Amino acid sequence: MVCRREREEMKLKLTWRIWILIICLFFSFLTVFGIPPSFLQKGVLITSVESNSTAFEQGLRQGQIITKIDSQQVSSLNDFTASLHGKFDSNESIKLIITTKEGEVILYSNKTPQITVSEIPKTKIKLGLDLAGGSRALVKAQDFDLDSSAVRDLVDITNNRLNEFGISDVKVVPVSDLSGNNFMLVEIAGATPKDLQDILAKQGKFEAKIGNDTVFIGGKDRDIASVSRNAQDSGIERCGESGGSYFCRFRFNIYLSEEAAKRHANITAGLDIDPENPEYLSKKLDLYLDDKLVDSLFIGVSLKGQVTTQVMISGSGTGVTEQDAFTDAQNSMHKLQTILITGSLPYKLEIVKLDTISPLLGKEFTKSILLAGIAALLVVSIIVFARYRKFKSSLALLFTSFSEIIIILGIASLIQWNLDLPSIAGILATIGTGIDQQIIIMDETKQEKYLSLKERMKRAFAIILGAYFTGLVAMIPLMWAGAGLLKGFAVTTIIGITTGVLITRPAFTDMMKKIGE
Amino acid sequence: MKEKIVAFHDKYYKFLLAIPISFLLFSFIYIGFFYYKNNDIMYKDISLTGGTSAIIYEKINSNELKQFLFDKLEDVSIKEISDLVTQEQKAVIIETRSSAEETKDVLEEYLGHKLTEENSSFEFTGSSLSESFYKQLLLAMVFAFVFMAIVIFIMFRIFVPSAAVVLSAFADILMTLVAVNLFGMKISTAGIVAFLMLIGYSVDTDILLTNRVLKRKEGSLNHKIFGAFKTGMTMTLTAIAAVGVALFIVKSFSVVLTQIFSILIIGLLFDILNTWVTNVSIIKWYVEEKEKK
């Protein structure tokens, strides 16, 4: 009987406001840790799969979780390397059964699967570049006013180029700032691709000229019908040595549009045969990339005046060793192909901000921030306890602030917000103002005892709402200032103070009422 | 004891205003001279002037490095990052007005090995961009302040008390800026964010005070002010303690957070003066004048 009454009292203690807080807290835990909680999952996460590899063809994809290789359980990175160790030492093809959450994949290959893996992240919280590592570039047009539609085109072309280069996990978005300037923001998580600057800032103007006449220009919708990329029609032709350094020649076929082919025929029709080299015409086909001569090709006599759509493009790479020259030629070929496919931009680009951040410090950094947060909360609770001498109230304050952090993190993972340093500063700011407001509530409950509790709480809320609106409006300009690079601060602060005013503060008020009664 | 303080305050609160007024005067003159000398209102770091910030994750003698970089790069400054517990050096931060490529080349020359994303981080901001960032962040500050002022005026709807809140917040920010300049702190984008945070923190206590004084009917004026003072001081001191502890922990690690926390602490200290002297004196004066009529 006594027990039942106590239970009824317990029930009474939780008002609907407190229930809302508990429900929000529960859902936030779910969004932060995922269902089932990711820290309980065993295995390794596939972070990338080489396209065109056996692994890809057999259905392994980024984001899958490998739990078993052959009969060996895989629950850590060490397990993963151990299970593959020694298997591909001989050059013979072997059978490998990879078990993922989605099912089994069987690979026959003489090479280790072309995938990269990592430990399963413990939470769904996404860290920003400045904490997780990666690269970020802010690009603008030189001497050209990018309007919002031009910047969208730029984003499309850049996306294409990055795809052509096989760069995944990349975010390309248009951003604008308070003065109405438009930029393109490129963010790449993880390793920074080599030549990123080149890929991004290249105008990519490709021109093929005979003398001063343009035969064709790059871009699939313009003069180029298609670009060969298969091994048969493209590749490194030969390598050689000259004067102590090596060079390699590459070549690939392209197919011109009907119109460009006719232009080619008209121009070549007017050319003479080279008297010194009677197999070729007197002028060469010059290939220009961003106004720089890349290569000059002889034009065979048989092509004179002919409408031909197939044209061979060639060029070379150099290096100190043959291997270097080979890689250089391959890269140049890749770049040229990409530019021929994606076409050029009508303006030059300038990278105005380029950050490449190592993932090395991030982990320790996150640890030190957590430590700072915990220490700060501890100090706050000691002060509050010393001032009010009430254990329950101090505990309630600590619990509320802690809930607030969890709810902010929950919402951040729900909207897939990348937590960067400004965002974390925002969370800290919110917790600070949150605690201040809870102190106001605690003091109001103690004052003017002849007034009803409800009346006193109403008064506390008048102050809190005032503080809320001043905080809210102060954050709004920051959403745009500085091309939005400090947006994170505004976003987490707004999430935080709004959560405060709608969820945690009302719940805390009810807790105080209950404790007060 | 309490009566004595009350009697003192009743007699001299108007004179107490001389303290913030002299502070404010000094601040205005100082900022005026500062602007005349530097053509700006603060020292800016490379995130606002343009340049490169490089972090190398190695134990490097920063003095020797500085000697080496001194005439090779523009405006070099070097900071060390160390482990919180062991105090062991973990990395160095090199800041310079030179470009990222130039910086990288010179650093590689000094170190004798390549810098990759494994062992270093580079952040480069072009000077025209950072200049526009700076202008926009200042603009954002002004907007934030104006928006805040509008909300305050709508909330209290009486000129003098509202103006007192806005003035206190303004004095708070100005005095903090002066202190930061006196310390020779170079402000980064994060530093400006800290000033934005300060707007929020400093008006909180002012709103509390004004609300208690204007909207409560019970108790004497002094009683209301003293009640607000107790709550407000708990708020500010708690905040200072929390930020102080956090500052102590991140100091060896994050330059960005160190600056934010330092500016907040300075601002919160000035907030004590501006809320409990500036704002209290003005609102007490206002209420007493009104009661006389």
Same domain? A490 vs A393: yes
**pLDDT tens for residues A405-453?**
999 999 998 888 888 888 888 888 888 888 888 888 888 877 666 677 7
Measured distance CA(A62)–CA(A56) in Å, rounded? 9
| Residue A356 domain-assigned (yes or no) | no
Please compute, for residue A474, the number of CA atoms within 13 A of its CA located in the half-sphere on the CB side.
30
Here the tokens at position A437 are 């407001």
Residue B119: list chain A partners with CB under 8 A.
358, 360
Average pLDDT over residues B40-63: 88
Here the tokens at position B245 are 């502890």
Interchain CB distance below 8 Å, B117 and A191: yes
Domain map (residue ranges) of chain B: 2-45+128-292, 51-124
Average pLDDT over residues B27-56: 92
**Token pair 């004590």 is at which residue?**
B272
- Counting residues of chain A whose pLDDT is more than 90, the rounded percentage is 7
Beta strand extents in A283-427 (DSSP E only): 285-289, 292-297, 310-319, 348-357, 418-419
| Residue A499 domain-assigned (yes or no) | yes
Amino acid at A21: L
Please check whether residue A390 touches B, CB under 8 A: no
**pLDDT tens for residues A266-307?**
888 888 888 877 778 888 888 887 777 877 877 877 778 878
Please check whether residue A180 touches B, CB under 8 A: no
Please say if the pLDDT value at position A1 is more than 60.
no
Interchain CB distance below 8 Å, A357 and B155: no
**What's chain B's average pLDDT?**
89
Please work out, in degrees rounded to the nearest 5, the angle formed at the alpha carbon of residue B123 by the alpha carbons of B198 and B90. 85
Q: Find the range with the poorest average confidence among A360-364, A494-498, B55-59, B169-173.
A: A360-364
Residue B229's closest CA among B246, B208, B248? B208
What pLDDT score was predicted for residue B229?
93
DSSP code, position A206 = E
Please check whether residue B85 touches A, CB under 8 A: no
Please check whether residue B137 touches A, CB under 8 A: yes
Interchain CB distance below 8 Å, A352 and B239: no
Task: Please tell me the total number of residues recorded for chain A in this structure.
Answer: 517
Same domain? A294 vs A429: no
CB atoms within 10 A of CB A35: 8
Is the CA virtual torsion B213, B218, B220, B223 positive or negative?
Answer: negative
Shortest distance between the Cα of B239 and any Cα of chain A, in A, equals 6
Measured distance CA(A177)–CA(A185) in Å, rounded? 12
Please say if the pLDDT value at position B152 is more than 50.
yes
CB atoms within 10 A of CB B237: 14
Q: Which of A356, A425, A467 shows the shortest C-beta gap to B204?
A: A467
Residue B179's closest CA among B165, B162, B194? B194
From first CA to last CA, the distance across chain A in angstroms is 23
Residue A358's closest CA among B91, B87, B108, B109? B91
Same domain? A197 vs A210: no
Last residue of a domain, one of A119, A146, A174: A119
Interchain CB distance below 8 Å, B57 and A377: no
Task: Please tell me the total number of residues recorded for chain B in this structure.
Answer: 293
**pLDDT tens for residues B79-101?**
888 777 777 888 888 888 888 88
| Residue A348 domain-assigned (yes or no) | no
Give me the domain span that covers residue A12. Answer: 2-31+361-516
Measured distance CA(B166)–CA(B206) in Å, rounded? 9
Same domain? A9 vs A51: no
Please compute, for residue B29, the number of CA atoms within 13 A of its CA located in the half-sphere on the CB side.
6
Shortest distance between the Cα of B106 and any Cα of chain A, in A, equals 18
Size of interface A-B (CB pairs under 8 A): 226
Same domain? A84 vs A187: no
Please check whether residue A485 touches B, CB under 8 A: yes
Where is mean pLDDT largest: A91-105, A111-125, A231-245, B273-287? B273-287
Q: How confident is the model at residue A128 (pLDDT cuts 50, 70, 90)?
A: confident
- Counting residues of chain A whose pLDDT is more than 70, the rounded percentage is 92
**pLDDT tens for residues A86-105?**
777 777 778 888 888 878 88
Please compute, for residue A189, the number of CA atoms within 13 A of its CA located in the half-sphere on the CB side.
14
Same domain? A210 vs A313: yes
Residue B263: list chain A partners with CB under 8 A.
none
Interchain CB distance below 8 Å, B140 and A364: no
Average pLDDT over residues A242-266: 84
Please say if the pLDDT value at position A319 is more than 50.
yes
Shortest distance between the Cα of A28 and any Cα of chain B, in A, equals 25
Measured distance CA(A286)–CA(A213) in Å, rounded? 10
ipTM of the complex: 0.86
Q: What is the CA radius of gyration of chain B?
A: 23
CB atoms within 10 A of CB B170: 17
DSSP code, position A194 = T
What pLDDT score was predicted for residue A281?
83
Interchain CB distance below 8 Å, A133 and B117: yes
What pLDDT score was predicted for residue A35?
77
Average pLDDT over residues A1-8: 46
Please check whether residue B249 touches A, CB under 8 A: yes
| Residue A6 domain-assigned (yes or no) | yes
Q: Phi, psi at residue A498, to the nearest 5°? A: -70, -45
Whether residue A136 contacts residue A353, with contact meaning beta carbons closer than 8 Å, is answered with yes
Last residue of a domain, one of A84, A119, A154: A119
Please say if the pLDDT value at position A349 is more than 60.
yes
- Residues 28-67 of chain B with CB under 8 A from chain A are 55, 57
| Residue A345 domain-assigned (yes or no) | no
Interchain CB distance below 8 Å, B124 and A355: yes
**Token pair 């044209």 is at which residue?**
A311
Q: How confident is the model at residue B168 (pLDDT cuts 50, 70, 90)?
A: very high
| Residue A408 domain-assigned (yes or no) | yes
Give which of A192, A355, A358 to mutate to test B binding, by max B Cβ within 10 Å. A358
Interchain CB distance below 8 Å, A459 and B150: no
Tell me, letter by letter, the H, E, C secondary structure of chain B: CHHHHHHHHHHHHHHHCHHHHHHHHHHHHHHHHHHHHHCCCCEECHHHHCEEEEEECCCCCHHHHHHHHCCCCCCCEEEEEECCCCCCEEEEEEEECCCHHHHHHHHHHHHCCCCCCCCEEEEEECHHHHHHHHHHHHHHHHHHHHHHHHHHHHHHCCHHHHHHHHHHHHHHHHHHHHHHHHCCCEECHHHHHHHHHHHHHHHHHHHHHHHHHHHCCCCCHHHHHHHHHHHHHHHHHHHHHHHHHHHHHHCCCCHHHHHHHHHHHHHHHHHHHHHHHHHHHHHHHHHHHHHHC
Q: Is the peptide bond before A36 cis (omega within 30 degrees of 0)?
A: yes
Measured distance CA(A497)–CA(A495) in Å, rounded? 6
Q: Phi, psi at residue A171, to the nearest 5°? A: -125, 120
- Please write down the long-range contacts of A444-449, taking CB distance under 8 Å and 24 or more positions apart: A445/A512, A445/A513, A445/A516, A447/B227, A448/B216, A448/B218, A448/B219
Q: Which of B121, B129, B238 shows the shortest C-beta gap to A356?
A: B121
Interchain CB distance below 8 Å, A466 and B207: yes
* CATH number of the domain that residue A11 is part of: 1.20.1640.10
Residue B253: list chain A partners with CB under 8 A.
364-365, 368
Average pLDDT over residues B224-234: 91
Please check whether residue A362 touches B, CB under 8 A: no
Same domain? A388 vs A300: no
Same domain? A219 vs A251: yes
Please check whether residue A97 touches B, CB under 8 A: no
CB atoms within 10 A of CB A47: 15
Tally of structural domains, chain A? 4
| Residue A427 domain-assigned (yes or no) | yes
What pLDDT score was predicted for residue A192?
63
Please say if the pLDDT value at position A194 is more than 70.
no
Measured distance CA(A145)–CA(A424) in Å, rounded? 34
Give which of A405, A419, A436 to mutate to test B binding, by max B Cβ within 10 Å. A436
Interchain CB distance below 8 Å, A380 and B241: yes
Please say if the pLDDT value at position A20 is more than 70.
yes
Residue B197: list chain A partners with CB under 8 A.
425, 429
Higher pLDDT, A117 or B157: B157
Whether residue A338 contacts residue A198, with contact meaning beta carbons closer than 8 Å, is answered with no
| Residue A451 domain-assigned (yes or no) | yes
Measured distance CA(B183)–CA(B79) in Å, rounded? 17
Shortest distance between the Cα of A141 and any Cα of chain B, in A, equals 12
Measured distance CA(B6)–CA(B283) in Å, rounded? 16
Residue A298's closest CA among A210, A206, A214? A210
Shortest distance between the Cα of B151 and any Cα of chain A, in A, equals 6
**What's chain A's average pLDDT?**
81
Please check whether residue B84 touches A, CB under 8 A: yes
Residue A480: list chain B partners with CB under 8 A.
136, 140
Same domain? A235 vs A312: yes
Average pLDDT over residues A492-510: 91
Average pLDDT over residues B189-208: 89
Same domain? A299 vs A408: no
Interchain CB distance below 8 Å, A432 and B201: yes
Measured distance CA(B246)–CA(A428) in Å, rounded? 10
Last residue of a domain, one of A151, A179, A201: A201
Whether residue A410 contacts residue A447, with contact meaning beta carbons closer than 8 Å, is answered with no
* CATH number of the domain that residue A141 is part of: 3.30.70.3400
Pairing of strands A126-127, A310-319: unpaired
CATH number at B51-124:
3.30.70
Measured distance CA(B215)–CA(B205) in Å, rounded? 15
**pLDDT tens for residues B207-216?**
999 998 998 8
Q: Output the pTM of the full model.
A: 0.80
* CATH number of the domain that residue A82 is part of: 2.30.42.10
Residue A483: list chain B partners with CB under 8 A.
133
Average pLDDT over residues A387-414: 89
The CATH architecture one would assign to domain B2-45+128-292 is Up-down Bundle (1.20)
Please say if the pLDDT value at position A517 is more than 70.
no
Higher pLDDT, A512 or A449: A512
Same domain? A374 vs A463: yes
Same domain? A505 vs A425: yes
Identical fold at B2-45+128-292 and B51-124?
A: no
